[in-house]
C-alpha cells in the first residue's frame, strides 16, 4: 500500500508530504484547487509520463517520492530481491522517486537506485491501479474491452496473455523470414545454377599463376621457329666452323699459336696470349650451348595449336570473370562463398519451417487455454455488472459481453470453426449496453448519457478492483455525472472495495467523502505573490465544514452543518 507521498516543486505544489493509511482516503476541494495533481504525481513517480511543463515556475526541477509497503506482495518482493533493490531480511519498503529537471531528461529510481522508467511502470502496475478522470472514454474503444475482461482473470490470465503475445511476435518474425526466403526460392536456385556453372568452368580450366606469361613466350618461339633455327645455325657455323671454311674459333686458335711463339721471345706478348686462350674457351662454350639449343628448337604444328587454344581459353575466362587471371581466381573464391551462403539459405528454410510448426503448436495451445478461461469469465462478469448497475439506480439496465471471431482457413480449430490467431488470443470482445427495458443493447460508444457511461465505467472498474490483488486503487473523479441516491450507492461501492484494498479517491460528492477513513482537503492559496496548492487532513469540525461546502453551501447554516455532521456520524457508525 501507499504509505507516504512527498512532492516538491511539481505543478503548483511547492512542498507537500502526505501520510496514508488503509481504507478509503478522499481528496476534496474546490474545482481548480489541484486535487488531481496528487494523482498525477503518483503516476509520475511510478514511471508514467512526465513533462518539463510540470516543473513549478521558478524551480530547477520537480521531485516526487512515493513510499510503498510491499510486505503482502510476495511476487513484488521476489522481483525486488532479484534486482537488488531490497536485501533479504530488509523491511519491505520501496521508494519510487522521480526527478523532472527543467532541462534534460527525467530520471526514475527505486530505493535510490537509478532504473528505467519502464521498470517502475512494471512494478507500479502490481501495486497501484489508477482510474483517471477520462477512463470512461476508454470504454468507448472496443479494443480496450478485452483488457478489462482479462483483468478479472488475475495472474493466470496475465501470464497467458504475456505468453501468447511473446509467441505471436516470435511466430510472426519466423514467418516473415520464411516468406522472404521462400519468395526468392526460384531466383536463388537460378543464381545457384549460374554460380555452380561458372565455378565449374573456372576449376576445369586449371589456371596456374604465371601460366599466361609462359604461354606467350612459347607461342612466340613456335611462331618464329624456322627463323630462329636458321639464325642460330648460321651463328654456330661462324663461331665453330663447318665443312666449308675456317671458323672464328679456328682463327682464334691459330692466332693464339702465333702469340705463343711471340711470347716465348718477348714476354710482353704473354697477356695477349692469355686473352686469346680465354677467348677460345668462351667461343667453344658458346658453340656448345648453341648446339644444344638448336636441338630443342623444333616447330610442332600440334603444339602451336594447343598453345593458341589454351591462350584463347584464358582470354575467354578473363573476358567473363576478370581482367587478369588473378582476378579470375579471386572471383572463383568469391562465388564459392556465395554458393555456400545460398546453400545455407536453403537449409534455413527447412529449419525455419520446423521452428514455425513448433511455435504455432505452442501458440495454439496457449491461445486455446486463454480462450477457455476468458470465456469462462464472461457469465459472472455480466451478472456482476448488471447487479452493480441496478444498485446505481439502473435496475432495468442490461449488459452483454459480445464475443466474435475472425475466420481464417489457416487458423486454429475452435469448436469446428477455423478462426484467426492474434497477439491477444482468438476473441474480439465488445461490451453492449442498454439502459432501459425493451431497448436493444448497443455498443457503449452509442450511449448518449454521460451519467450512464460514468455508472457503467464505475461498475466495471469496481468489479475489476475487487477481483485483482493490486493493493492500492486510485479513483480520480470517476463519480462525474452522478448524484443523489446514485451517489450514495457509489459511495457504498467504494467503501466495499476499501474493505479489501487501499482506496484513494478524488471526489466532489459528499456521500462519498463521509465514508472515508482519511479525508484530505485541497485548497489553492497565494503565498508571497505565488499561487500554491495546499493539502490538509481535516478532522472534527473542519471536516464537517468541508462536507457542508460539498453539499453546495459556501456559508453553511446551522441546519446544513448539522446535516453534514449527521452524514459523517452515520457513515462512521457513531
How many residues are given for the chain?
A: 574
Three-state SS at 30: coil
Threshold 0.85, pTM exceeds: no
Q: DSSP assignment of 463-480, as one string? A: HHHHHS--SEEEEESTTT
In the chain, count H helices and then E strands. Answer: 18, 17
In this prediction, residue 239 carries a pLDDT of: 84
CA 548, CA 569: separation in Å to the nearest integer? 14
> 96, 68 in Cβ contact below 8 A?
yes
DSSP letter at 55?
B
To the nearest 10 degrees (0 to 180), the angle between helices 270-296 and 248-265 is 160
CA 460, CA 230: separation in Å to the nearest integer? 115
DSSP letter at 120?
H
CA 457, CA 134: separation in Å to the nearest integer? 10
Residue 398, C-alpha cell as written in the block = 442490461
In this prediction, residue 504 carries a pLDDT of: 94
CA 516, CA 458: separation in Å to the nearest integer? 18
Residue 173, C-alpha cell as written in the block = 518474425
Pairing state between β 107-110 and 113-115: antiparallel
Which whole-number Å values give the CA distances from 358 to 177, 351, 353, 364, 391, in the listed order? Answer: 15, 11, 9, 10, 50
Residue 196, C-alpha cell as written in the block = 555452380
Phi, psi (deg, nearest 5) at residue 557: -80, 165
In this prediction, residue 114 carries a pLDDT of: 96
Task: Name the CA dihedral angle for 378, 380, 125, 15, rounded to a multiple of 10 degrees.
Answer: 130
Q: What is the pLDDT along the chain (574 residues), one digit of tens a residue?
A: 999 999 999 999 999 999 999 999 999 998 888 888 999 999 999 999 899 999 999 899 999 999 999 988 888 998 999 999 998 888 899 999 999 999 999 999 999 999 999 999 999 988 998 876 655 566 778 888 998 899 888 888 989 999 999 999 899 888 888 877 766 777 878 888 899 999 999 889 888 877 878 888 777 776 666 677 777 777 888 888 765 567 888 888 888 888 888 888 888 889 998 998 899 899 888 888 888 877 766 656 677 778 788 888 888 888 888 888 888 888 999 999 888 888 777 777 888 889 999 999 999 999 999 999 999 999 999 999 999 898 888 899 999 999 999 999 888 888 889 999 999 999 999 999 998 988 999 998 887 566 677 778 778 877 876 666 788 988 887 676 677 777 888 888 888 888 888 999 999 999 999 999 999 999 998 888 888 899 999 999 999 999 999 998 778 889 999 999 999 999 887 6
Query: What is the rounded radius of gyration, in angstroms, for the C-alpha atoms of the chain?
Result: 49
CA 570, CA 514: separation in Å to the nearest integer? 9
Which whole-number Å values give the CA distances from 510 to 130, 452, 574, in the listed order? Answer: 21, 20, 17
In this prediction, residue 72 carries a pLDDT of: 84
Other Cβ atoms less than 10 A from the Cβ of 130: the count is: 20
Amino acid at each position: 500500500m501507499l504509505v507516504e507521498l512527498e512532492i516538491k516543486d511539481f505543478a503548483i505544489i511547492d512542498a507537500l508530504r502526505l501520510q496514508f493509511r488503509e481504507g478509503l482516503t478522499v481528496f476534496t476541494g474546490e474545482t481548480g484547487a489541484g486535487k488531481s495533481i496528487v494523482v498525477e504525481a503518483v503516476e509520475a513517480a511510478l514511471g508514467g509520463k512526465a513533462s518539463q511543463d510540470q516543473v513549478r515556475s521558478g524551480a530547477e526541477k520537480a521531485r516526487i517520492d512515493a513510499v510503498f509497503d510491499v510486505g503482502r506482495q510476495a511476487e513484488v518482493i521476489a522481483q525486488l530481491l532479484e534486482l537488488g533493490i531490497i536485501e533479504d531480511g530488509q523491511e519491505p519498503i520501496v521508494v519510487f522517486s522521480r526527478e523532472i529537471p527543467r532541462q534534460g531528461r527525467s530520471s526514475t529510481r527505486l530505493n535510490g537506485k537509478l532504473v528505467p522508467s519502464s521498470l517502475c511502470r512494471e512494478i507500479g502496475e502490481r501495486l497501484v491501479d489508477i482510474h483517471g478522470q477520462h477512463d470512461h472514454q476508454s470504454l468507448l474503444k472496443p479494443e480496450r474491452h478485452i483488457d478489462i475482461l482479462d483483468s478479472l482473470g488475475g495472474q493466470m490470465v496475465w501470464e497467458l496473455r504475456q505468453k501468447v503475445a511473446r509467441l505471436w511476435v516470435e511466430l510472426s518474425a519466423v514467418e516473415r523470414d520464411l516468406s522472404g526466403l521462400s519468395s526468392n526460392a526460384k531466383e536463388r536456385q537460378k543464381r545457384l545454377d549460374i554460380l555452380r556453372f561458372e565455378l565449374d568452368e573456372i576449376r576445369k580450366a586449371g589456371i596456374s599463376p604465371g601460366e599466361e606469361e609462359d604461354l606467350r613466350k612459347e607461342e612466340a618461339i613456335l611462331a618464329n621457329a624456322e627463323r630462329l633455327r636458321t639464325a642460330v645455325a648460321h651463328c654456330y657455323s661462324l663461331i665453330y666452323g663447318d665443312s666449308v671454311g675456317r671458323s672464328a674459333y679456328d682463327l682464334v686458335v691459330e692466332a693464339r699459336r702465333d702469340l705463343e711463339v711471340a711470347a716465348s721471345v718477348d714476354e710482353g706478348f704473354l697477356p695477349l696470349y692469355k686473352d686469346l686462350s680465354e677467348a677460345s674457351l668462351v667461343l667453344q662454350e658458346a658453340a656448345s650451348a648453341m648446339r644444344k639449343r638448336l636441338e630443342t628448337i623444333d616447330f610442332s604444328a600440334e603444339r602451336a595449336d594447343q598453345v593458341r587454344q589454351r591462350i584463347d581459353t584464358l582470354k575467354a575466362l578473363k573476358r567473363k570473370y576478370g581482367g587478369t587471371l588473378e582476378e579470375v581466381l579471386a572471383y572463383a573464391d568469391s562465388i564459392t562463398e556465395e554458393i555456400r551462403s545460398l546453400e545455407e539459405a536453403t537449409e534455413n528454410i527447412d529449419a525455419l519451417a520446423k521452428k514455425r510448426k513448433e511455435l504455432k503448436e505452442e501458440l495454439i495451445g496457449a491461445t486455446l487455454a486463454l480462450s477457455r478461461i476468458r470465456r469462462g469469465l464472461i457469465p459472472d462478469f455480466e451478472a456482476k455488472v448488471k447487479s452493480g448497475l441496478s444498485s446505481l439506480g439502473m435496475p432495468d439496465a442490461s449488459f452483454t459481453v459480445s464475443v466474435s471471431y475472425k475466420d481464417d482457413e489457416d487458423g486454429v480449430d475452435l469448436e469446428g470453426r477455423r478462426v484467426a490467431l492474434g497477439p491477444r488470443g482468438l476473441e474480439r470482445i465488445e461490451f453492449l449496453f442498454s439502459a432501459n427495458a425493451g431497448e436493444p443493447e448497443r455498443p457503449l460508444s452509442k450511449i448518449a448519457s454521460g451519467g450512464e457511461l460514468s455508472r457503467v465505467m464505475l461498475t466495471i472498474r469496481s468489479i475489476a478492483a475487487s477481483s485483482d490483488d493490486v493493493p492500492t486503487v486510485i479513483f480520480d473523479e470517476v463519480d462525474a455525472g452522478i448524484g443523489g441516491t446514485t451517489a450514495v450507492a457509489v459511495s457504498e461501492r467504494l467503501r466495499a472495495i476499501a474493505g479489501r484494498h487501499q482506496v484513494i479517491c478524488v471526489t466532489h460528492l459528499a456521500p462519498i467523502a463521509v465514508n472515508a477513513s482519511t479525508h484530505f482537503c485541497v485548497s489553492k492559496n497565494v503565498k508571497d505573490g505565488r499561487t500554491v496548492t495546499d493539502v490538509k487532513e481535516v478532522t472534527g469540525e473542519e471536516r464537517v465544514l468541508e462536507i457542508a461546502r460539498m453539499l453546495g453551501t459556501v456559508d453553511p447554516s446551522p441546519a446544513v452543518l448539522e446535516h453534514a455532521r449527521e452524514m459523517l456520524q452515520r457513515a462512521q457508525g457513531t
